[in-house]
Every structure is written in structure tokens, then in C-alpha cells.
Structure 1
Amino acid sequence: MRGEASRVADRESRNSFANKLRESGSNAWEIGNELFTITYVFDHNPRIQRALTDPGRPTKDKVALLNELIGNQAMPLTMDILTDLVGRSWSRARDIDNAIEDFAVDAMMYQADCDGKTLEVAIQLAQLQSALLNLPVVRADLSDDQGPLNVRYELLHALIDSANFDRITVRLAEHCTRNPRNRRYLESVQWLINKFSRHMGESMVTVTTASPLSEEQIKKLNQIYAKKTGHPVHIHSVVDPTVIGGMRIQVGDEVTDNTVVAQLETLQRKVKTSVGD
């Protein structure tokens, strides 16, 4: 959990650069990629984190170090963002990496806006999440940053290549694979879905059923969850015959599982408990 100083620094910096990132157009893709790479490098070099966030070190020295490390290798706006971040106060050294990652995702969202693909990317992230729900071994392997990166990439692409995802979805999924940042893979994907939902001003409601939802069901769910969340929602319907019947509904981190499979599993646990007694 970030301290108050880090939350303020992250929020104020991102707010101050929001318009510039939005107006960067197609350059947002490259800026986002650069910031993801820098997040990875800083995450794996705690000495750099400490040097760039040391409250006793003059800002000009930290900016000089930043230029020495990155210099003209990055786009001007990337350097402007990093320069702003090292001039702020941080509760913990590693919190600056959280802010850089937030900026990277912001850049990808603005690129999605520029491409007219924002909702499409959000839906694809929800599809990736749904595909992984019944693949615990794959999820664990994707989250294992101790294993070879090329093996994790091969596993990810074996899962998503046939889906023909947008380049932004693929890049976000690769980031979660390359740099889990102490998060489980599904947790990272849900974090991204939440960010896209806030960016669009609506919530993603993923509904898993054994057969396709009717238009009437989708309309009713829309009304229910729009009222519940207080803002527009998008119903992402997932068909999974293995749930047999009922619905599994996920809104953010909240999951309501009323599928037949879930009910059978609950009953089975109760039977085991009573037998054990």
C-alpha cells in the first residue's frame, strides 16, 4: 500500500501530464513502451530507485542521474514525465516505479483512444481473464518471474495468438508476464480492466453462463448494474458450458458465483465437513 506522499505525487503528476499524453497521438504507443521498460529496469535495480527518490539529494542531481541513465534514448515527453517524478516526494523508494507503471498504462489508454479501440481492448482483457479462470497452472506459470521469460512469452502467445487481439492488449498482457510486480496474473489483468473502466467512465461486468445471454437478459443486467454502480456499464458475456447453469458475475474484484458448478462444489465441501465431524 502506498503512503500518502506517494499517492499525492502519483496523482498530481499524472493529472499534470494528462493533456500532453492525450495530445501525443500515435506517439503514446512508444511512450508507453518506454515507460514499461523503465519500470522493469528500475524494479530490478533498487539502488536506482533509492538514488532517484532520496529526499536529501538535490533535485538537480537526480535529474542529472536520470539523464545519465536514459538521456536521449527516450522520447522528450517520457523524459519530462520522469523528470517531474524525481522532483516529487515519495513515501517509499519503490513507489516511484508504481507511478511510472501507471503512466505507461495511461499512455496505452490514450493510444487506444487515438485508435478508437478503447472498449475493444477492455473487452479483450476481460476475455483473457475469462480464458485464464479455468487454467490455474497456466496462471501460475505466467506469474512466475523466476522462470525463463521466453518460456512465459511462448505460453502467453500460445494462449492469445489465435484470438487476434489488438496490439495494445498484447502489449499489456506481455507487461504482466514480463514484470508481475508481486501480483498474481489475474490480479494484474483485473487491475488493467479497472483502469480502462475508470478511463471510459463505465464498469466492465463479466457474466459467465453455460449458454449465450438473450438481449433481454443483457438489457436487464445493464439496468441492474448501472443502478448498483451509479454509472454506465458494459456487459461482457462469456459462454462456458462447463458451468452447467446459473451465472458467474464479476464487477471489478467482486465476484458473485451462482453457477451450478459452484453450488455443487459448495455442497461437496459441506458433505466432506459433515463426514469429517
Structure 2
Amino acid sequence: MAAVTTESLASVQKELASTLAQADLEVARELFAALDVLDSSAGLRRSLTDPSREAQDRAAMARSLFGGKVTSTTAEVLTALVSRRWSKERDLGDAVEVLAVAVVVVQAEREGLAGLEKLETVLLDFRRTVSSSHEVQRALTDPQAKPEAKQKLGAALSPSASAEARLLIDRAVTSPRGLRPAQLVERFTEQIAARQQRWIALVTVAKELDPSYMERLRASLDRYFGRELKLDVVVDPAVVGGIRVQVGDEVVDSTVATKLNDLDRRLAS
């Protein structure tokens, strides 16, 4: 994505973090439906991304178009998106898709890391199944086939899919947005994988940890971060001693190397 689009998407995600965290699958469905409307009309996309229009005018247009047809949460997301600037018209639709998937992922995340891993596993299994069969690929990309038939085939290929996985698979087989269904599913899984970094603690230590200490550390970190974490332990003798933990953007560093570097900076100042 270009810089303007990247900044706009990041800004909306930060502004609506609490809203998206409380949204349900109906919001995701409505966002996908709104995306279909955007994708169907180049004129509408131009109007909603026209930088010569004031942000409030674009927001008013979105409220006029979608208001009363979607929940207040979905309307809030859409107006926030059209109020931003986008490098290209299509970027607005891409952003709607990203936030729709984010809502789905949050739903799965309510089961913790296991929920995210389950969602990712189902999607990856579906992608592998589709990619391994030319016949299935032809059936899912046949322009003459009805969306219902593609959904039925998608369901048959992913019988253990949760409601979250089902929504994303249905989306991939009926509205792949210029991609093959397997490609769109792969894009969805990349977003899920990025989300999982919030649940993975990268632990850097100077030497291997014994199992009993590892369990105590795991329990301590779970309490500190308020969630069940998956530990990814890296041994790096350069840290000398202590421990460094990173979960997403949050870092707790008590290594000897860091303390020595801090001391050196203080002495040099």
C-alpha cells in the first residue's frame, strides 16, 4: 500500500480498536456487503474517495447510502473509512475488507490463541485442498456457476469450519475480488497470522531454560499481559543474562546487556 493509504488504515484501526473488539459477525457480514456495493460502482468509489470533497461531506454521503440498512457499528466503521484519504479508489474497498476480516478474527480470538490457530488451520487446509485439485479450481472460478453452488462446494471442502471460517470461505468462493479463491484465503490467513503476534511472546535469554522455570515464566507472563501466551524462546548469549520479552509492540527488557548499554549512555552524557 502507498503511504497515504497505509497511514489512513492505521489511523482508522487505532481509532476504532475498541469498536472492532466488541463487534460481532453481523458487522463483518455488513462490511462485506458494503464492499460489494463499492466494488460494483466505480462512480461511487470516486465520490467517496474524492480528495476535493470535505471529509464530512464524504461521511454524510456514506451515511445517506448505508444508514438505516446496517447496524450503528458498521455505519461508524464506514464513515470513519470514507473520512480518510486514500491513494487509489480501490484502496477504500481493500480497507473495508481488512476491517471485516479483523472483526472475524476478533470473534475467533475470544477463544484465545487456540481460536486463532483453529481458524488459521481451517483456512490453510481449505487452500491446500483447492490448490491440489484443478477440477475444484475450475468449479470455484466458473463464471456460469451460481454463488450458492460455490458456497455448497466450499462447505463440502471444509466440514469442520466454524462460523468465522465459514464466513471467510464463503466470501472467498463467491467474491474473490479479482483473485482466485485460494489466493484470497491466503490473504486472510496472512492477516490472522499477523494478529497472532499479539499472542506470541518472543523470549530472549542467554541460555536454555529448564522446564520448571519455563512453566513458571509462562504463568508469570500470562498474568502480566493478561492473556494466555505462546512462548517462542530464543537463546542469544549476547544478552549475557536476564531476559527480554516482546509481545506485539510491548517490550519488557531486563537483560544484562541492555542495562550495561544504558549505563554506558549515562556515563557518556
Q: TM-score, normalised to structure 2's length?
A: 0.69
Partner of 2:3: 4
Report the CA distance shift for 1:16/1:166 in structure 2 as closer, same or farther (over 3 A): same
* Residue pair 1:176, 1:188 contacting (<8 A) in 2 also: yes
* Residue pair 1:29, 1:111 contacting (<8 A) in 2 also: yes
1:79-228 equivalences in 2 (<5 Å) = 79-116=75-112, 117-144=115-142, 147-160=145-158, 163-201=159-197
Partner of 2:20: 21
Distance 1:105 1:153 in 2: 18
Partner of 2:250: none
Distance 1:95 1:146 in 2: 28
Q: Secondary structure at the match of 1:57?
A: coil
Report the CA distance shift for 1:61/1:121 in structure 2 as closer, same or farther (over 3 A): same
Report the CA distance shift for 1:156/1:226 in structure 2 as closer, same or farther (over 3 A): farther
Q: Deviations over 1:182-238 (max 9, x none)?
A: 1122211111111111111189xxxxxxxxxxxxxxxxxxxxx987xxx99xxxxxx
The runs of 5 or more residues in structure 2 that have no matched partner are 200-231, 235-245, 248-269
Q: Secondary structure at the match of 1:195?
A: helix
Amino acid paired to 2:151: Y
* Residue pair 2:25, 2:103 contacting (<8 A) in 1 also: yes
Distance 2:5 2:174 in 1: 24
Report percent identity of matched pairs.
24
* Residue pair 2:27, 2:100 contacting (<8 A) in 1 also: yes
- Cα RMSD between the aligned structures? 2.6
Larger Rg: 1 or 2? 2
* Residue pair 2:59, 2:80 contacting (<8 A) in 1 also: no
Equivalent pairs, count: 204
Q: CA deviation at 1:133?
A: 2.8
Distance 1:43 1:109 in 2: 23
Amino acid paired to 1:127: D
Q: TM-score, normalised to structure 1's length?
A: 0.67
* Residue pair 1:143, 1:183 contacting (<8 A) in 2 also: no
Q: Secondary structure at the match of 1:182?
A: coil
Q: Deviations over 1:231-276 (max 9, x none)?
A: 99xxxxxxxxxxxxxxxxxxxxxxxxxxxxxxxxxxxxxxxxxxxx
Q: CA deviation at 1:61?
A: 2.2
Amino acid paired to 1:150: E
Amino acid paired to 1:17: L
Q: Deviations over 1:143-174 (max 9, x none)?
A: 455643223223222322xx221111010001
Distance 2:75 2:142 in 1: 31
Q: Deviations over 1:116-163 (max 9, x none)?
A: 522211111121122223112312432455643223223222322xx2
Q: CA deviation at 1:10?
A: 1.3
The runs of 5 or more residues in structure 1 that have no matched partner are 204-224, 233-277
* Residue pair 2:51, 2:85 contacting (<8 A) in 1 also: yes
Distance 1:67 1:173 in 2: 29
Distance 1:35 1:124 in 2: 22
Distance 1:30 1:81 in 2: 13
Q: Secondary structure at the match of 1:91?
A: coil
* Residue pair 1:145, 1:180 contacting (<8 A) in 2 also: no
